Amino acid sequence: MRAVIQRVSQARVYVDHQLKDQIGQGLCVLLGIEKGDTEEDVQWLSHKIVHLRIMDDDQGIMNRSVKDTGGDILLISQFTLLASTRRGHRPSYDRAAPPAEAETMYEQMIAQLEKDLNKPIHTGTFRAYMQVELINDGPVTICIDSRLKE
């Protein structure tokens, strides 16, 4: 699994030009699910996201997690994070999990994040064309790959 985690002051996701969900202070997480990802990947990545210390403390130092601050998470599925651009100019998405497998893992990630954060997770719509609007706070953007454990 690959995740692009952005610290945001607000984020919104639209489906069919209609507001689907939104958050204030927290994290907007773009999630790419790779063939062969497992429940272990879900658990590891969820724990990392929820406890990642990229939120400011009272002195303005990134020393708190989204869980510490009571912030929200907006989770968006995004298979294009698994793009390979090694050959030519058209990205290959061969590493992305097939839709049925990816949707199952996406639902598992929602459930695990809710368990780890101890509150509901905000989401887009799986396999839908979405428009994501956000204000990246900092800007702070972190990329994590569960297979590399970094």
Q: Which residues are catalytic?
A: 78-80
Q: Is the dihedral of CA 41, 47, 53, 54 positive or negative?
A: positive
Question: In the structure encoding, which two tokens stand for residue 53, read together?
Answer: 């210390």
Q: Give the number of residues written for the chain.
A: 150
Question: How many Cβ atoms sit within 10 Å of the Cβ of residue 104?
Answer: 13
CA 21, distance to chain mean position in Å, is 14
Question: How many Cβ atoms sit within 10 Å of the Cβ of residue 1?
Answer: 24
Helix, strand or coil for residue 15? Answer: strand
Question: In the structure encoding, which two tokens stand for residue 90, read together?
Answer: 């058209």
Q: Which of 136, 99, 134, 128 is nearest to 18 (CA)?
A: 128
């690959």: which residue's tokens?
2
